[in-house]
Structures are given as C-alpha cells and as structure tokens.
Amino acid sequence: NGVRVKVPASTANLGPGFDTLGMALSLYAWIEMKPAQTTSFHLYGDNLKGLPADKSNLIYKVAQSVFAEAGESLLELEISMYSDIPLTRGLGSSASAIVGALFAANQLIGSPLSKAKLFDMATALEHHPDNVGASLYGGIITAVWDGIHAESLRIEPPVDLGVLVAIPDFQLSTTKAREVLPKQVSLSDAVYNVSRASLLTAALASGRLDLISQCMSDRLHQPYRASLVPGMSRILEEATDHGAIGIALSGAGPTLLALADQRISAGTELEQFLLSVLGEHNITAKTLWLK
C-alpha cells in the first residue's frame, strides 16, 4: 500500500541557459511513502543528516500540498528517504526531493494530478524550472516559466556526451548565490547569452558536440558567482585546454560541470586539472563521471 520513487539529481543552466536549461544526472534519491497511523520518518545516509524528521520536513509538506490540491483529506505518512545527491552543491538535491515527494504523494492517491501540474507545483516551490524539470522529465530540458505555468521540452542527451562533475566539499546556498546577481544586465550581455543558449540547445538537440565549446559561456550569472568558488574563473577559462568541450558552474554552484566528447577524450587530464586548480585554493573535491 506504499509507493517508492527514484529521482535523478540535476544540473541547471549549462552555462548560458540561466534558469532555462537543465539536465538530469545519474545520481539518485529514493523516496518511499506509506499511509500510517502517525507520521514518522526514516532518513538514511550521510546526505540527509540534519534534515528535520518531523512535520516541518519538506517531503511531508510537499506531500500534503498534493493531497490538498487533489481535494483529498490529509494523510499521516511513513516517509523513508535515501539519497546519493550531496546537499547544497548545485546538483539539484532540493529539486529532486520536491519532485520525488510530489510524484510519490500523487501516486499514493491514484495519480489524480497530471505531470504538467506537478511541474507547475514543483517550479512554484523552487522559483525556477530548470532543476525540477530535469528531475521530473529526465534527459536535457529547455524550460520556461511564467510565474504560474512551466513548460518544457526534453532533448535526448547526445550518446557521446561525457558529463564530469567536480563537487567541492563545501556547501553554497542557492539564496546566497542568487543574492550576488545584478538586478539589471546590459543588452549586449543579454544578447550574448540568448545567442549562446539558443545555439547550445540546437547543438545538443542535433548531436553537434563540435559546437558546444563556442556556446557554453555566460555573462549573466557566472562572472558574479566566481568569487564564491575559488579557482572557478581559471577553470572556466582553461578547462577546454584540458579536454573539456564545455565547462560551467553547475546550477548555483559550487559544483563545476565539465562536458567531454567521449570519442575524443578519456578525461583523466580533465579530472586532474579540475582537482589541482581547486586544490591550489585548498578546496578538496571529488569528481564523478555521470550520464
């Protein structure tokens, strides 16, 4: 009588697509939900340490919002969760928790809400559609949000696309990483990003990995966030000399996302480059190759 869902992590922005582009990553969280007499929580693994195990828990609150939206009376729940997604690193851990909670709660009551509705609800909680869209639909997504409705289209990731993340061992809150952004940008910076995000989307959709290095740069958020991740500026400038076809801050950081063409580069040099630049700034990090 319970449900279990597996939800992917995600990377947002992919450089120029601020609050627009997202990609699901092969790193997962699992959520199990069962109706119960009284609400209880089982949170497993280091990544969930310190999260509330009472009714202030995000999973619980999101589930109740699904029941309310569907006109069901609120249920007491036994909630279990395990996650391989490190928290507050720019890998969409909160988005995956939100999407998993929405999906599981909806399934528990017979799936009265559509996936599109769950996307709207998830985006309203996150205030941007890129991470939740990728966690909900998988693959690469390009999304828009008008403040109420979110819409997206899924792109199948090119088969030869290699995805490397370097995850620093410190946390950076999205709130903090958004506070450093300017309220206004110049027309030339806007054009810089619109043109690159558009070409990047088209290149990914048509498997043109050769075009990625020309369009995976950004002037809307990364330059302002560089001071929050020591070593990032140099990594963004030089990673393509070490085998990356593209390099970006993953979401709001501090994780860095490097793309590689698996036909060309084995990627060992790239991993060493990322770790050594971060190491020069006394940041320990771990690298993972994901799909």
Shortest distance in whole angstroms from residue 22 CB to ligand HSE = 8
Rounded CA Rg of the chain: 19
By beta-carbon proximity to ligand HSE, the closer residue of 23 and 277 is 23
Q: How far does CA 68 lie from the centroid of its chain?
A: 27
**DSSP strand pairing (256-261 vs 161-168):** antiparallel
Given a contact cutoff of 8 angstroms between Cβ atoms, the answer to whether 126 and 94 are in contact is yes
Q: How are strands ordered across the β-sheet holding 161-168?
A: 246-249, 256-261, 161-168, 285-290
Other residues' Cβ atoms within 10 Å of the Cβ of residue 140: 26
Residues that bind ligand HSE (CB under 6 A): 12-13, 18-19, 128, 130-131, 174, 177-178, 221, 251-252
Is 220 part of any known ligand binding site?
no
CA atoms within 13 A on the CB side of 98: 23
Shortest distance in whole angstroms from residue 184 CB to ligand HSE = 17
By beta-carbon proximity to ligand HSE, the closer residue of 108 and 163 is 163
Shortest distance in whole angstroms from residue 91 CB to ligand HSE = 9
Shortest distance in whole angstroms from residue 192 CB to ligand HSE = 17
Is 86 part of any known ligand binding site?
yes
Tokens describing residue 129 = 């559609």
By beta-carbon proximity to ligand HSE, the closer residue of 180 and 199 is 180
Given a contact cutoff of 8 angstroms between Cβ atoms, the answer to whether 88 and 50 are in contact is no
Is 94 part of any known ligand binding site?
yes
Q: Could you tell me the CA-to-CA distances from 138 to 9, 11, 223, 290 in Å, in that order?
A: 9, 11, 28, 13
By beta-carbon proximity to ligand HSE, the closer residue of 13 and 217 is 13
Is 90 part of any known ligand binding site?
yes
Is 93 part of any known ligand binding site?
yes
Is 88 part of any known ligand binding site?
yes
By beta-carbon proximity to ligand HSE, the closer residue of 231 and 254 is 254
Unique residue bearing structure tokens 């990544």:
47
Tell me the residue number closest to ligand HSE, measured at CB.
Answer: 251
Shortest distance in whole angstroms from residue 202 CB to ligand HSE = 20
**Residue stretches of the annotated binding site for ATP:** 86-96
**Residue stretches of the annotated binding site:** 86-96
